[in-house]
Amino acid sequence: MYCVDSHGSDIDHFWPKATYPDRAFVWSNMLLCCTECGRFKGNRFPLSNAGQPMLVDPSAEDPWEHLDFDPDTGNLTARYLANCGAPSPKGEHTVKTLKLDRREGMAAGYRRTYLRMEACVRKALTEDAIELQKLAQDLQRADDHGLLGWCLGPVGARLEPFAELRRRAPDAWDAWTASVQ
Ligand SMILES: [Zn+2]
């Protein structure tokens, strides 16, 4: 949870049990997270004025609605919402609380995953007829960070080689985009 770095080792209470003891034994409040995320989050749990959590709950919502990925650095940042003309407030709170824009090890892992996924697409694009089913499997296998949703999203889809894939196989692209959302 939170950093999606596949090293879940701790149980995190989304609503911190120190502040909300009545939620301590609620299954849906228990998320698997890594030691670092657990340490950064601690009892930090920002709420909106209406009392809604301002951290992304990855078990209930798509993190890419609030977060963006920087393929050059591997960092996560708050997603810019064009319709609001501002970054997602939930994204901002999540990045700040979990320090998702300043974790070297995590960013390096994201970079490696992204490069692996890029390589899968580049390889598939060298074929005259793209084997889409095989590519989908390869991408899934390479995706240790749940990045596919970002790659197929508004920002990732503009970058090569994903943009070329979209041009070459528009029907498959639309089907994939629908299936990850
Ligand atoms: Zn983590």
Q: Is residue 50 part of a domain?
A: yes
Going from the Cα of 9 to the center of ligand 1, the distance in angstroms, rounded, reads: 9
Say if residue 23's pLDDT is above 70: yes
Say if residue 181's pLDDT is above 70: no
136 and 119 together in one domain: yes
Most confident of 56-60, 129-133, 163-167: 163-167
Q: Is residue 138 part of a domain?
A: yes
Amino acid 79 reads: R
State which H helix or E strand residue 33 sits in.
strand 30-33
pLDDT tens per residue, range 99-116: 999 999 999 999 999 999
Going from the Cα of 127 to the center of ligand 1, the distance in angstroms, rounded, reads: 37
Residues having C-beta closer than 5 Å to ion ligand 1:
2-3, 34, 37
Q: What angle do CA 136, 79, 89 make, to 5 degrees?
A: 135
Range of the domain at 30: 10-102
State which H helix or E strand residue 20 sits in.
none
Going from the Cα of 132 to the center of ligand 1, the distance in angstroms, rounded, reads: 31
Candidates 104, 135, 106; CA nearest to 118 is: 135
155 and 124 together in one domain: yes
Q: Is residue 145 part of a domain?
A: yes
Q: Is residue 97 part of a domain?
A: yes
Say how far residue 76 (Cα) sits from the centre of its chain.
8
Structural domains in the chain (count): 2
> Per-residue confidence at 2, pLDDT binned at 50, 70, 90?
confident
132 and 176 together in one domain: yes
Going from the Cα of 17 to the center of ligand 1, the distance in angstroms, rounded, reads: 19
Q: Is residue 118 part of a domain?
A: yes
Going from the Cα of 133 to the center of ligand 1, the distance in angstroms, rounded, reads: 31
Candidates 145, 81, 61, 139; CA nearest to 110 is: 145
**Residue 169 is encoded by which pair of tokens?**
């196989």
Going from the Cα of 13 to the center of ligand 1, the distance in angstroms, rounded, reads: 14
90 and 23 together in one domain: yes
Mean pLDDT of 32-44: 93
82 and 119 together in one domain: no
Q: pTM for this structure?
A: 0.90
pLDDT tens per residue, range 59-100: 899 999 999 999 999 999 999 999 999 999 999 999 999 999
Q: Domain ends where: 50, 81, 102?
A: 102
In this structure, the chain runs to a length of: 181
The whole-angstrom separation of Cα 23 and Cα 43 is 13
Going from the Cα of 21 to the center of ligand 1, the distance in angstroms, rounded, reads: 23
pLDDT tens per residue, range 39-64: 999 999 999 999 999 999 988 999 99
